[in-house]
Amino acid sequence: MILRDATEHELAFIREIRLHAYEEHAQKIPADHWNVLKKSILSDADLQPGIERIVAVIDGEIVGSVALFSPDIKAYEGLLEDELDYPELRMLAISSKARGKGVATALINECISRAKEKGFPAMGLHTADFMEDAIKLYEYLGFERLPQFDFEPTNDGIIVKAFRISL
């Protein structure tokens, strides 16, 4: 497996991987929530300066991706009362054929390494209960809950939960 920065011409393909990876959750949540999530994962929000787009490649094919947002970027503007002072891992997506091969763990660890290299004391992420496997993985890797940074984006009872790992 090779981990590297995504090139600009790969971004459309990365968004398709994201869409397919997240679509499995569409039936678990209200349609309005899915539409907000879908808009977010297909948006060009990850094109801003200060965002690292990282891909995992196996046998020449991109099988996963993640975005690492600098704390300078207001990733959850209007949703969090306090701004975060550490980078946030966002939009982790693994193709269905690469699941169970350590791709997610490798991408998360790459984000952790990059955050450490920049001298940050922590790295965070947000996810929801309907992403059960992701939460299990984050907790296994040592991420801790930070309920004070949770938010409810669509007033439908689905809480987007904050996690952080100390570096």
In tens digits, the chain (167 residues) has pLDDT values of: 999 999 989 999 999 999 999 998 888 898 888 988 888 888 877 788 889 999 999 999 999 999 999 988 765 555 565 667 899 999 999 999 999 999 999 999 999 999 999 999 999 999 998 999 999 999 999 999 999 989 888 888 889 999 999 99
Q: What pLDDT does 75 receive?
A: 58
Please state the length of the chain. 167
CA angle 31, 66, 107 (to 5 degrees): 130
CA–CA dist 159, 150 (Å, integer): 7
pTM of the model: 0.90
CATH topology for the 2-121 domain: Aminopeptidase (3.40.630)
Q: What pLDDT does 73 receive?
A: 75
From 9, 20, 93, 3, select the one nearest 47 (Cα to Cα): 9
